[in-house]
Structure formats: structure tokens, C-alpha cells
């Protein structure tokens, strides 16, 4: 069974038979009605395109850039998202993976659920993505990143 932070009403669970379709319905419900990109969309103060890259500036002052790859198509979040709630992001469907990385860090706090960082800690950031963790670590540790 899928673990979700938002629970569906009990009567829906009781009426749905146990099968693969039930899990798919739950996934669609979660992604359509409880989409973390809706909150990210509200946090975006500016989106602009620079050459072949898209740059997103968030309310917290962080700016992230990622290259636009038109060969990548939208999968779940934007496909099942409400365009009215994704008005800034919906135009850049090909950047969905990039938006998901930002939502994981700044909306869902996915990585910080497993650990806590405090001043004096040593953190090694290998650099396997767009730098969201590195910026958050440097801000929390009050350290410079090179």
C-alpha cells in the first residue's frame, strides 16, 4: 500500500476493492489534489529563460537554473495538476523533473526528514543535482560553498 501524508476519506477506502487500480487511484488523487508543486508555484517569484536554460527564483532568495530538454515530456505532477494552480510552472512542462527536485527540497523537506544539521557539522555535497542541498546546508551551517 502507498504511504501518503494526506489521508483519503475513510468511506472511499471502504468502497474501493483491493487491487492495482486502487493504488493508481490513490496516486492520481495525491498528485492532483495534494500536489507539492502547487506550493512551489506560489513560492516562485520569477521564471525566465536564458539561452537553453530555465531559471527559477524562489521567495527565499535562491535561484536555480536547469537546461530545458524538449525531448522530456511531463509525466505525473503536471499531467494531473490543475493548470490554474500551476500557472507559472505549467508553461515549462519539459522541466518537470527540475521542479520536482525543488519541491522535494523546499516543500516536502524530503532529505531533512532523515537527518538534522547543526553548526559545527561537516557536510559533503557530491553535486549530483542542481545544488538545492548544498545551498540549504551552507545556509544552515553559515558556511561558504566552493
pLDDT digits (tens, 9 = 90+) for 98-131: 898 898 888 888 777 777 787 778 887 777 777 7
Residue 3 above 60 pLDDT?
no
Please state the pTM of the whole predicted model: 0.71
pLDDT digits (tens, 9 = 90+) for 66-78: 876 666 655 667 8
At CA 34, angle to CA 26 and CA 56, rounded to 5? 130
* Domain ranges, ordered by start, for the chain: 10-141
Residue 42 confidence (pLDDT): 93
| Whole-angstrom distance, CA of residue 21 vs CA of residue 29 | 12
Amino acid at each position: 500500500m502507498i504511504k501518503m501524508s494526506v489521508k483519503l476519506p475513510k468511506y472511499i477506502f471502504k468502497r474501493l476493492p483491493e487491487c492495482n487500480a486502487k493504488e493508481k487511484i490513490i496516486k492520481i488523487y495525491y498528485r492532483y489534489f495534494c500536489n507539492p508543486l502547487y506550493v512551489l508555484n506560489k513560492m516562485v517569484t520569477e521564471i525566465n529563460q536564458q539561452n537553453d536554460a530555465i531559471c527559477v527564483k524562489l521567495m527565499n532568495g535562491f535561484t536555480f537554473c536547469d537546461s530545458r530538454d524538449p525531448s522530456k515530456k511531463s509525466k505525473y505532477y503536471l499531467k494531473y495538476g490543475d493548470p490554474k494552480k500551476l500557472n507559472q510552472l505549467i508553461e515549462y512542462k519539459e522541466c518537470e523533473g527540475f521542479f520536482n527536485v525543488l519541491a522535494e527540497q523546499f516543500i516536502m523537506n524530503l532529505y531533512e526528514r532523515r537527518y538534522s544539521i547543526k553548526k559545527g557539522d561537516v557536510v559533503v555535497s557530491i553535486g549530483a543535482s542542481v545544488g538545492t542541498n548544498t545551498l540549504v546546508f551552507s545556509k544552515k551551517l553559515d558556511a561558504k560553498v566552493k
